[in-house]
Structure 1
Amino acid sequence: MDRLFTAAATRIAAFAGQPAAFTAALALILIWVLTGPVFHYSDTWQLVVNTATTIVTFLMVFLIQNSQNRDAAAMQAKLDEVIRAVEGARNEFIGIEHLTDREVEMIRRRLEEEFAPHPEGKKPADSVERLLERM
């Protein structure tokens, strides 16, 4: 089931991001607009487009979220591998995506401070743990 959903979500997301998908959606809207006079701009005529766009939007939210989750997980795995492979890199950064937003923000702020000019000759922090202890 997971493989089937992932394959379908990947194909649909790839198609949805193409100019052809935009053109197809635009064509459908134009057809709907052009049929307005035929259906006397009735409530049913309006309901058709409202229902269709609501359903498509609802389903696309899940497909987009699935794509973003997979992309983010793949990116984290790649970054973790880079950290492991680079001599002198701080392995403590592996897995920080599992910390709270506040903890990640503190680490980001401390890293910016660490690499900013240090007028008093302060030494940079040497691990994520030390950064978190300062919170």
Structure 2
Amino acid sequence: MRWRFRQISDLAVLWAGHRAVPATLIILAVLWAVVGLHFSFPRQWFLLTNMVGTLIVFFILLLVQHAQNRDMMALQTKLDELIRSSKAGNHWIAAEKNEAEAIEEMRRQHHDQIRETMN
């Protein structure tokens, strides 16, 4: 089940991120408005359209967030392995799990060390 969800998620993210999608959606929205005005669709029809559009956008947002979270976890794992296999200090491994203040302090210490070695 997870594999299928990931496959669907990847496909939806790929589709939603294609450069032709915004232009297609704008054309569809203009056509929908023109047809609606021409045939005098009732207000409920436009409310239904608004609700469906909102749900689709929300669904795609969740899929994109899922893909971004997975990509970020993979990137962090790769960085941790690079740190582990290099001469860098192991205190940098999993730094993203620290609080923002602790990360900022680590960054300051790192910059101070760089300045000391340059002088």
TM-score range, shorter chain: 0.7 to 0.9
Structure 1 residue ranges, 4+ long, deviating more than 4 angstroms after superposition: none
Which consecutive unaligned segments of at least 5 residues does structure 2 have? none
Q: How many residues align?
A: 119
Indicate the residue corresponding to 2:12 in structure 1: 12
Instruction: Show the 5 A alignment for 1:68-87.
Output: 68-86=68-86
Distance in 1, matches of 2:49 and 2:103, equals: 43
Please identify which structure carries the higher helix content.
2
How big is each residue's C-alpha offset from its partner over 1:74-114, in whole Å with a ceiling of 9 and x where there is no partner? 1111111211222x211221111221222222212332333
Q: TM-score, normalised by structure 1?
A: 0.75
Distance in 2, matches of 1:43 and 1:116, equals: 66
Give the Å deviation of 1:117. Answer: 5.6
- Tell which deviates more after alignment, 65-74 or 101-110: 101-110
Task: Name the aligned partner's letter for residue 19 of structure 1.
Answer: R
Give the Å deviation of 1:41. Answer: 5.8
Distance in 2, matches of 1:54 and 1:45, equals: 14
Indicate the residue corresponding to 1:126 in structure 2: none
8 A contact 1:83–1:94 mirrored in 2: yes
Give the Å deviation of 1:57. Answer: 1.6
Indicate the residue corresponding to 2:114 in structure 1: 115
Change (3 A) 1:40 1:113: farther
8 A contact 1:13–1:67 mirrored in 2: yes
Task: Name the aligned partner's letter for residue 102 of structure 1.
Answer: E
Instruction: Show the 5 A alignment for 1:89-100.
Output: 89-100=88-99
Give the Å deviation of 1:26. Answer: 2.0
The answer to which structure, 1 or 2, has the higher relative contact order (CA under 8 A, 6+ apart) is 2
Distance in 2, matches of 1:18 and 1:113, equals: 43
Q: CA RMSD in A?
A: 2.2
Q: Secondary structure of the equivalent of 1:18?
A: coil
How big is each residue's C-alpha offset from its partner over 1:97-134, in whole Å with a ceiling of 9 and x where there is no partner? 2212222222123323332368xx7xxxxxxxxxxxxx
- Tell which deviates more after alignment, 23-32 or 5-14: 23-32
Which consecutive unaligned segments of at least 5 residues does structure 1 have? 122-135
Q: Secondary structure of the equivalent of 1:33?
A: helix
Query: Aligned pair 1:57/2:86, yes or no?
Result: no
